[in-house]
Amino acid sequence: MSAVQDKTALGDDFVVACERALAAGRPGEVNDADLARVMTAAVQLYAAKRDGGDASAAPVLAEKITPTEIVVTVSDMIRAAGLNLWDVSMWFNRSGR
């Protein structure tokens, strides 16, 4: 398997498991600990790319996610980090974003 194929398939198993659970209406089929590990790694990688100047990195596939899903997730992430909206506004208004 080539390096490009490896990168393409990197998250396939997890994505398939999530899509299957959602389609069946059983999101609990994906273990909470696994979800947290994957989301934590994805957030860390995304932040590193953005902070490194990679403006092309997209946080989500906008056509596959709803505004409600984004707000629910971001709100819980803000709470988990012990932040408030004032804290977030400092980063939100940084130049270059």
Does position 80 have pLDDT exceeding 70, yes or no?
Answer: yes
Give pLDDT, residue 56.
85
How far apart CA 54 and CA 79 sit, in angstroms, is 27
Report the distance separating Cα 69 and Cα 49, nearest Å: 23
Share of the chain above pLDDT 90, in %: 65
Kindly give the residue spans of alpha helices, DSSP state H, lying in 10-84: 12-23, 32-51, 67-80
Average predicted confidence (pLDDT) for the chain: 88
* pLDDT, tens digit, 9 for 90 and up, residues 26-68: 999 999 999 999 999 999 999 999 888 888 888 999 999 999 9
